[in-house]
A and B are shown apart, each in its own frame.
Chain A
Amino acid sequence: IVLTQSPGTLSLSPGEGATLSCRASQSVNTYLAWYQQKPGQAPRLLIYEASNRATGIPVRFSGSGSGTDFTLTISSLEPEDSAVYYCQQRRDWPITFGQGTRLEIK
């Protein structure tokens, strides 16, 4: 299953909202996760099963979608949100990741 993320890069200011998209080549139901990765760090799980926030994740991160179209929304951006964001499906083997969206905070 191919996951296509858009946009490739997003440049926004603190306080603004961000909308990141992930489209699957076939239905993954809600077996979709979102990760945040900062330089030199391992990815951090933000959202699992499309809309469930992982433990300790701030409420300004939210996920939605099912089937083939998914969205990660970050409300009221903070400087530390600057990172690359990946989606990942576990509906079918092999597990696949999207190519990532780079979020820059101006």
Chain B
Amino acid sequence: QLQLQESGPGLVKPWETLSLTCTVSGDSISSGSYYWGWIRQPRGKGLEWIGSITSGGDTYNNPSLKSRVTMSVATSKNQLSLKLSSVTAADTAVYYCARASPGHCGGGSCYGYWGQGTLVTVSS
């Protein structure tokens, strides 16, 4: 059973860079052809897709976040990372990493596996 666990600082100062890690267990990031996704959710609001990355390192970002997003894969550590630069209060949210389940969506971006989410607050 695949498990995802987000981690990172819970508090980030405005205009600094938010850095999160998603640790994957129960399967190798390199196995199969999957799109790994990052999604966030401000408190009391809906879901916003941040971006996706393949195990080969191909990335797809949400244009609404302009060029502030950097995603990477560390296959040796079985981890994904997300960096969001120049954060403001509008970036305060629960951040999730996610992946499709085997046999669903051809490994594409429908998310059967989710981490528990990590709350990041942007405040001075």
Please report A residues at the B interface, Cβ cutoff 8 Å.
Answer: 33, 35, 37, 42-45, 48-49, 52, 54-55, 86, 88, 90, 93-100
Query: 19 new A-B pairs (CB below 8 Å) besides A49-B110, A52-B104?
Result: A35-B47, A35-B111, A42-B117, A43-B47, A45-B101, A45-B104, A45-B111, A48-B112, A54-B101, A54-B112, A55-B101, A55-B104, A86-B47, A90-B105, A90-B108, A90-B109, A94-B61, A95-B109, A98-B46
**CB-contacts of B38-66 with A (<8 A):** 46-49, 52, 60-64
Q: Which residue of A lies closest to B61 (CB)?
A: A94
Q: Which residue of A lies closest to B47 (CB)?
A: A97
Given A42-B115, A54-B112, the answer on whether A97 and B104 have CB atoms closer than 8 Å is no
Q: For the complex, count residues of B whose C-beta is within 8 A of A.
A: 25
A43 and B114 contacting across the interface, CB-CB below 8 Å: yes
Q: Which residue of B lies closest to A94 (CB)?
A: B62
Q: Which residue of A lies closest to B94 (CB)?
A: A42
The contact of B110 among A48, A96, A100, by CB within 8 Å, is A48
A41 to B114, CA, bound (A): 10
Residues 96-118 of B, flagged 1 when their CB comes within 8 A of A and 0 if not, give 10100100110011111011110
B49 and A42 contacting across the interface, CB-CB below 8 Å: no
Q: Which residue of A lies closest to B103 (CB)?
A: A55
The contact of A94 among B63, B111, B116, B117, by CB within 8 Å, is B63
A46 to chain B minimum Cβ distance, whole angstroms, is 10
The interface residues of chain A lying within 8 Å CB-to-CB of B46 are: 86, 97-100
**CB-contacts of B53-101 with A (<8 A):** 60-64, 96, 98, 101
The interface residues of chain B lying within 8 Å CB-to-CB of A37 are: 47
Q: Which residue of B lies closest to A37 (CB)?
A: B47
The interface residues of chain B lying within 8 Å CB-to-CB of A97 are: 46-49
Given A42-B117, A48-B104, A54-B101, the answer on whether A96 and B111 have CB atoms closer than 8 Å is no
7 A-B residue pairs with CB within 8 Å: A35-B111, A42-B114, A45-B104, A54-B112, A93-B60, A95-B49, A99-B46
